[in-house]
Structure 1
Amino acid sequence: MKSLRAVPLLLLVAACSGGGSSSSSGEQAEDPVVVDYPIAFVRRQLNKDDEGALEQDNQYQPQDFFPGAELILKDRATASAAETVITAEIFTGDYDVKDLNTSADGQRLVFAMRAPELENVDDDEQPTWNIWLYDLETKELKRVIQSDLIAEEGQDVAPAFLPDGRIVFSSSRQRRARALLLDDNKPQFSALTDDQDEPAFVLHVMEADGSDIRQISFNQSHDLNPTVLNNGRILFNRWDNAAGVDRLSLYTIKPDGSDLSFHYGYHSQETGTENSLATFSRPREMPDGRLLVNLRSPSGVSYGGDLVAIDGINYSEAYSEAGGEGDLVGQASIAFAEVTTDGTLSPHGTFSTAWPFYDGTSRLLVSWSECRIVEEETELLRPCPETLGEEEEPVLADPLYGLWIYDYVAGTQLPIIVAEEGEMISEGVTLEPRTEPAYIPDPIPGIDVDGDLVQESVGILDIRSVYDFDGEDIAGIETLADPAMTTADERPARFLRIVKAVAIPDDDTLDFDGSAFGRNRSQGMREILGYTPIQPDGSVRVKIPADTPFAISVIDAEGKRVFEQHNNWLQLRPGEVRSCVGCHTSESEVAHGRVDMELESAWSGSPTSAAPFVNTEPALLAEMGETMAQLLARIVGEAGLKGDIHFSDVWTDPAVRVKDTDISLAYADLLTEIPAPLACLDNWGSSCRSVIHYEQHIQPIWELPRQVVDNAGTVISDNTCTACHSPVDAAGATRVPAAQLDLTASASSVNDAWFTSYAELLVDSPILDLVGGILTPRLRQETDNQGNPVFETDEDGNLILDANGNPIPVMIVVTTSSVMAETAVESAFFPIFSTGGAHTGLLNPAELRLIAEWLDIGAQYYNDPFAAPAD
């Protein structure tokens, strides 16, 4: 085991800095390794709560403030080099510093810093994290954004230099997203993450003088720790958390925000010690092209983890086989002794951060802490033992992170700074020159991208075939594309639904009741941007509003989703054309969207040029390799989304067979309130969307009069839903609702903020019996796992007897399963209204379409927080 005990005493003495915060001078002692580059590092106090326990270092909370830090510069990477606290003159009091980064020429240092906390001031009026810049030559330290007003618009962290001198950083300011809220007639605010816990941090780019701030990523949760790869792309941590999937993996993006691509680790989250959950923190490209990450628990008090190198060039996941099976090929620890990441005793200690030297060696500048325990009898600190007895439960001591030169090939580590008890060196960087990454210029409208699309603020999604699953044709695309062999009714995928995430404000902006999310808060709120037909070959090409986090769903002819829900937010920049070959399941470990690892398409498109697809309209002449959607875009023009589900057969050659029947599931056919602006029905544009609320749009369907009357006006039958599905009949007498389903608008006993009908449709409900004129929940005696009846017992386990000396049975309420499942296609509700069902024809197709899409997007009670009641 490597530890402080293995380091020569002379080096330990030479490395001690004494924890001072002022400059030192004098001749530097000769060190065993002379590194003629300046280094910068952060020295900070260990933050503890009122009970003396270490505060958690949570990667999902980048805005956390840990006062008591300072930024120090050494003119050489040696223990004896002079120290200068370069932030000493900026603030008085305890401030915080983090996220150090350097320019490729080694002359500039960029970092995040937050001013001390203000007394007797609310949280929303406290100072924010800002980006600061230090010039090594001029020794000038300045905040990048000079205006106090603009600097305080959001929390800005994790900066990195782009090759053209601009700065990419992660911020809660959400500049473009906030501006778009005005188009929705909402106030500007920074939306919360998918778990509605804190504002989402997303990527922004600005000039080195703080001007021209532009948002380039549009996730609903955090995009963190950007770093620029040698190829010019930005690598970062993306938190995918739609519908509670909870993945913090690596993505890349171009500096203008286009070509967002998954890069590594979406299915490799459990690669920590004993397959524990671990994240790829603080990624950075090494000189050999591998990615250096700190593999650590997402939250905890160890502040560190293992040094891991990722081969992101050849692998997108950790294991050679799906599901975490096979060999660990995508990543490997480069620590030269065992490091644990699950908070247990770690023989080789733990690493907080690591920064590679760019001098052709295998050395790293690391923040490292030895593993130490508190001796039970003496309460003294000592290094962790090599082994533990079965009964031993050691108490881990506080970490003591110092700054070290760590050679992962030679297996040596040399101290630069040894921290004092109660403090740590949390990160360090070298200010040495390195190769400048490639420069990727922003696209020029009218030259690199379609100027009309930029002006319209839309991009294009181009899917080769939704029947292509991981390069496999799952449905016989060639057959589906031939109208002579397949009718439209025989094709499983008919339309693509585009769903937009709804920005959720914090309580200071809007305090609304959490019941507004409905049965499943993790689904958030959703708006439907529109629909587009899927062509016979499964292809889609459609314009989608730019700068909007969206997800896609494949639906059938009735408006029901037929493939699983898409739980990753996509984005398009203005003018961007995003192509993908097909679809995948959530278990798929193919690197979808990553061009260098994309599988060959299962659909080759048109086999020739200047000829139609087989048995299609002769005038529709394809180019070789073109999909049907691409052909239509070329001849007819780029298609836009529509609010209605509409299909018209443009493909079948009338000489082969009769064209397929049109489909029209239109909001205009609703007899209740339409969930979209009336002006959008005839002219569905990029600002149009469907916003469905249960009380406003679904409940009226149950209450809509559906009476059959004769010529004299006498009611022959009443098919109004609530005429049967209510606890009171027409005469006012109490009854059991038909099919044990109450569709009235009374307050639910499950949640009084919901209508009874909502809970009855979506939550398992008690079966009711009419007992003595009163609706009473049906009871039965509880049984154990073996089916034996259960009786009441006292705290000693003895039976409790009634007045007659008999055991008292434990009774439980008998429930009936909810009528509606997670998706429309799985729900027992819809077959009742289909041909041969008990309620055939009682709801029209437009009503069934509205109910289906509402259910598929999450069955929220409200889909606009500003429409929900106040808390």
Structure 2
Amino acid sequence: MKSGNKKSATDTTYLWQGMAVIKFALLFALLNLSGLTEAFAGEAIVYSRCERTTTEMDVTADVVLNGKRQTVTRRMSGLDIYDVLPDITNFLGDFSAPCDLIYRNPDGVETIIYDCSSSSTPADSCAALDPAVSFDAEIIVFSVFRGSLRFYQEHIHSQAVHPDAEPEDLGYYDFPNKLLTTTGAHLHAYHIPSGQIRFIPFIPGVYDSGPTFISNQRIAFTSTRDDHTTTVVWGTTESRMGTRIWTMDVNSKNPDLASHHSLSQEQHPFMLKNGRLAYSSWQIFGGLPFRYSNNGAGTHTTIDNLFHIYAQDPDGAENFPIYGQHSGDHAKSYFGADHKAAHFITQTADERIWFADYYRSNNKGLGLLIGVMQEPEGLEGIGPQEASSDADVFIPRDIINFASWAHSDDMPSFPMSGPTVTHPNYADPLPFAGKLGHPAALPNNGLMVAWGKGACSTVAHHEIFSALGRITPPFTSGSGGGVAMNLITSLEMDTPGCDVGLYRATQIPSQHPGDLEMIVDSKDWHEIMGRAVVPYANIHGVDHPDTIQRADVRTSHPSLETGTPFGLLGAASITDRETHPKNGIHFFGEHQFNLQGTDTIDYTDDELCGVRILGIMPNRNRNVVYEIANIAGERVSILGEFPVLNRHADGSRAIDASDHPDTSFLVRMPANMAYLMQGIDCDGRTLNTDQTWQSLRPGEQKTCNGCHVHS
């Protein structure tokens, strides 16, 4: 067997790598489960498997018991609770490794496409992640993250070692959980008929990941290759590595930066049937992180949770929100869930867009699965005045919460209710209902999901003991100090902290974990990021998604000559607007301004005189906090201002087709540059403002429906 993680970065670009494949038949024991069945036959799939921590750990410490210091040893179990799986925070590294890429045929025979585990060493390891399947089902593209392994560390509290110990911090301990400190990631393509792999040479410091096919010949992916850094949120000092969406041919030629509007991070794009490219976008510009606060006025919310679902044309034109940009109010929307971080996208045959919604970092990218029927193009959801609750503002009107037995909070999974579920990997019935993630479409409008069995959060809570009718031990709620492993160990059951496997939904919505059908779930691995390896037509009934041409090809205008570096931005009216906050303008106005409406004062349409265009330049330095100091968190320039009080030659006001004063405009402006629009009065004062980046592609002609008119 030739290991996949030993290629030199000096190898020629896009080499073909012959791989001796390892095949082995999986022998499954017949299951005797209550409500949980196993799929012995199904569709071919590809998935990543990441090493799961299965060992126990003896913790020895000097603690004070009954006033005397003595040495105590306790064996801790459930350490997989500290395994880290890729999510919006651990996107570029610091997740569990090694991870292999596996192809599983319908008969359960598995092929290791890319082997990281067999030759992994502390100094040299890898994780093969993010598989995507071509529309003809002949090529699988994926990313390989490279780096070294380190052990997870955490302070341990004395009561994690002995419940009666006097409280004290025992200092840092090394845990057996292995995490990958990455140095970069590069793309690979596996040709299924030949079993050969080709790849882009590894360049330290560059992260190419999250690929998706936009045609059989071209892919989109996220990359750090333009070397920008993220927005500095006011009150913080951090500017992280930024990622943008790029496209290129499968043979690595003709790369193109396709998201000039993205100035923080975009993650895991996915091609929709309508030809648009959906992706998870980190929206942290200006006041957006202050839509609600953690500690009072002037403080931001949990920044990493501000990932929403957007879509753009494959070339980067016409970016627009699908879910989350203006919605979520720390309260449940009409479909029974709150919005946190939306990530990991798929689309089923009925054109419903599915994604995971979870709390960042502590929960392994697991939480709820949300299914959205997208609103018509140009609309986001329920209007501010139509919504009965702030939590429903701009929420799409047709949403399914896949499983009410899961949740997206920064807490352990719900206790298992209803019928018990016994899993073949564990002797005791599962005490936790678990959490969900990584949806993937299957034929016949089917859905594959990743189910995390266990508490699946490093934040502990003692609720499980009362649910089991047991006395609550000390130190089983909170985070840090070893409390999560103390929670699992104190259960004294053969049960995981969090063990993730791939399952098929037998009904939507799911009524109980027992109605999931097992596809693959090994005790030794976390199985994640599954995708069906079938032609696109087997799922969607057509050979490929709709084709959307480049912006410069599909538009024609005298001001947009061939090869122009400009685009056109226009609107029929700037008074057709949804900029006024749903609940009015208040003196303490962070919430109203940064959730939905950005009117700075109460004003009438007659006071809107013009539009200001702001150019936003990407940060280029992770120490940018020493270079700028502004609320925007980026360098901002005024590209121009222009009036919109259109008049006839005799000076009288022009009237538009809706019998209102004409405030239409069409402006030629630079392409490939992030910008914001502001409505201004006749003295140039800001009356309303964008708070999310936009951009034009060369030759693009963009028409706005109105100011924030998304319903």
Instruction: Return the structure number with greater helix share.
Output: 1
Q: 2:628 aligns with which of 504, 517, 536?
A: 517
Matched, 1:256 2:315: yes
Question: Matched residues in 1 for 2:453 and 2:29: separation?
Answer: 25
Contact 2:101 2:129 in 1 (8 A): no
Matched, 1:369 2:452: yes
Q: Which residue of 1 aligns with 2:501?
A: 402
Q: Which residue of 2 aligns with 1:162?
A: 214
Secondary structure of 2:148's aligned partner: coil
Matched, 1:37 2:43: yes
Once the two structures are overlaid, the 10-residue window that deviates more, 66-75 or 126-135, is 66-75
Q: 1:328 to 1:441 in 2, by over 3 A?
A: closer
Q: Which residue of 2 aligns with 1:332?
A: 400
Instruction: Return the structure number with greater strand share.
Output: 2
Q: 1:279 aligns with which of 333, 336, 341?
A: 341
Matched, 1:265 2:271: no
Q: 1:343 aligns with which of 411, 419, 429?
A: 411
Residue by residue, what CA displacement relative to the aligned partner does 1:768-789 show, whole Å, maximum 9, x if unpaired?
A: xxxxxxxxxxxxxxxxxxxxxx
Contact 2:357 2:367 in 1 (8 A): yes
Question: Matched residues in 2 for 1:279 and 1:57: separation?
Answer: 13
Q: Which residue of 2 aligns with 1:225?
A: 268
Q: CA deviation at 1:297?
A: 1.1
Q: CA deviation at 1:98?
A: 1.9
Residue by residue, what CA displacement relative to the aligned partner does 1:454-485 show, whole Å, maximum 9, x if unpaired?
A: 5341111112222222499xxxxxxxxxxxxx
Q: 1:294 to 1:532 in 2, by over 3 A?
A: same
Q: CA deviation at 1:38?
A: 2.2
Give 1:39's aligned amino acid: I
1:774-789 mapped onto 2 (5 Å cutoff): none
Contact 2:330 2:338 in 1 (8 A): yes
Contact 1:405 1:414 in 2 (8 A): yes
Question: Matched residues in 2 for 1:390 and 1:450: separation?
Answer: 77
Q: 1:355 aligns with which of 426, 433, 440?
A: 440
1:368-387 mapped onto 2 (5 Å cutoff): 368-372=451-455, 386=467
Contact 2:674 2:693 in 1 (8 A): yes
Give 1:332's aligned amino acid: I
Q: 1:275 to 1:443 in 2, by over 3 A?
A: closer
Q: 1:85 to 1:464 in 2, by over 3 A?
A: closer
1:413-428 mapped onto 2 (5 Å cutoff): 413-420=516-523, 423-428=525-530
Q: 1:336 to 1:431 in 2, by over 3 A?
A: farther
Contact 1:272 1:278 in 2 (8 A): no
1:606-625 mapped onto 2 (5 Å cutoff): none
Give 1:70's aligned amino acid: C
Matched, 1:59 2:88: yes
Contact 1:367 1:401 in 2 (8 A): yes
1:777-816 mapped onto 2 (5 Å cutoff): none
Matched, 1:461 2:582: no
Q: 1:308 aligns with which of 367, 370, 392?
A: 370
Contact 1:56 1:300 in 2 (8 A): no
Residue by residue, what CA displacement relative to the aligned partner does 1:573-632 show, whole Å, maximum 9, x if unpaired?
A: 111111113224xxxxx52xxxxx6xxxxxxxxxxxxxxxxxxxxxxxxxxxxxxxxxxx
Question: Matched residues in 2 for 1:243 and 1:495: separation?
Answer: 22
Q: 1:157 to 1:269 in 2, by over 3 A?
A: farther
Q: CA deviation at 1:141?
A: 1.4
Q: Which residue of 2 aligns with 1:847?
A: none
Normalising by structure 1, what TM-score? Answer: 0.53
Q: CA deviation at 1:313?
A: 3.8
Contact 1:276 1:342 in 2 (8 A): no
Q: 1:267 to 1:385 in 2, by over 3 A?
A: farther
Residue by residue, what CA displacement relative to the aligned partner does 1:349-368 show, whole Å, maximum 9, x if unpaired?
A: 1113121211x153x32221
Q: CA deviation at 1:276?
A: 5.2
Contact 2:145 2:182 in 1 (8 A): no
1:504-583 mapped onto 2 (5 Å cutoff): 504-507=619-622, 514=626, 516-518=627-629, 520-536=630-646, 537-561=662-686, 563-583=687-707
Residue by residue, what CA displacement relative to the aligned partner does 1:724-747 show, whole Å, maximum 9, x if unpaired?
A: xxxxxxxxxxxxxxxxxxxxxxxx
Q: CA deviation at 1:311?
A: 2.0
Secondary structure of 1:401's aligned partner: strand
Give 2:615's aligned amino acid: K
Contact 1:132 1:142 in 2 (8 A): yes
Aligned residues between the structures:
511
Q: 2:185 aligns with which of 117, 129, 147?
A: 129
Question: Matched residues in 2 for 1:453 and 1:437: separation?
Answer: 29
Q: Which residue of 1 aligns with 2:140?
A: 109
Q: CA deviation at 1:140?
A: 1.0
Measured on the aligned residues, the alpha-carbon RMSD in Å equals 4.0
Give 2:571's aligned amino acid: I
Question: Matched residues in 1 for 2:640 and 2:118: separation?
Answer: 52
Give 2:136's aligned amino acid: D
1:397-796 mapped onto 2 (5 Å cutoff): 398-409=497-508, 412-420=515-523, 423-435=525-537, 436-443=544-551, 448=556, 452-453=560-561, 455-470=563-578, 492-507=607-622, 514=626, 516-518=627-629, 520-536=630-646, 537-561=662-686, 563-584=687-708, 590-591=709-710
Contact 2:84 2:94 in 1 (8 A): no
Secondary structure of 2:536's aligned partner: coil
Q: CA deviation at 1:538?
A: 2.0
Matched, 1:205 2:247: yes
Task: In structure 1, list runs of 5 or more residues that go unmatched.
Answer: 1-20, 120-124, 175-188, 375-380, 473-489, 585-589, 592-596, 598-871
Q: 1:209 to 1:83 in 2, by over 3 A?
A: closer
Secondary structure of 1:455's aligned partner: coil
Q: Which residue of 1 aligns with 2:99?
A: 70
Q: 1:206 to 1:272 in 2, by over 3 A?
A: farther
Q: 1:109 to 1:450 in 2, by over 3 A?
A: farther
Question: Matched residues in 1 for 2:356 and 2:530: separation?
Answer: 14
Secondary structure of 2:436's aligned partner: strand
Secondary structure of 2:210's aligned partner: strand
Secondary structure of 1:242's aligned partner: coil
Residue by residue, what CA displacement relative to the aligned partner does 1:194-233 show, whole Å, maximum 9, x if unpaired?
A: 4452122111110000111101112112222211111111
Question: Matched residues in 1 for 2:522 and 2:39: separation?
Answer: 20
Question: Matched residues in 1 for 2:133 and 2:562: separation?
Answer: 34
Q: Which residue of 1 aligns with 2:355?
A: 293
Question: Matched residues in 1 for 2:466 and 2:22: separation?
Answer: 37
Contact 1:102 1:160 in 2 (8 A): yes
Question: Matched residues in 1 for 2:373 and 2:665: separation?
Answer: 34
Contact 2:381 2:396 in 1 (8 A): no
Task: In structure 2, list runs of 5 or more residues that go unmatched.
Answer: 1-20, 31-36, 60-78, 151-180, 290-305, 417-432, 478-486, 489-495, 538-543, 581-604, 647-661
Once the two structures are overlaid, the 10-residue window that deviates more, 552-561 or 541-550, is 552-561
Q: 1:529 to 1:155 in 2, by over 3 A?
A: same
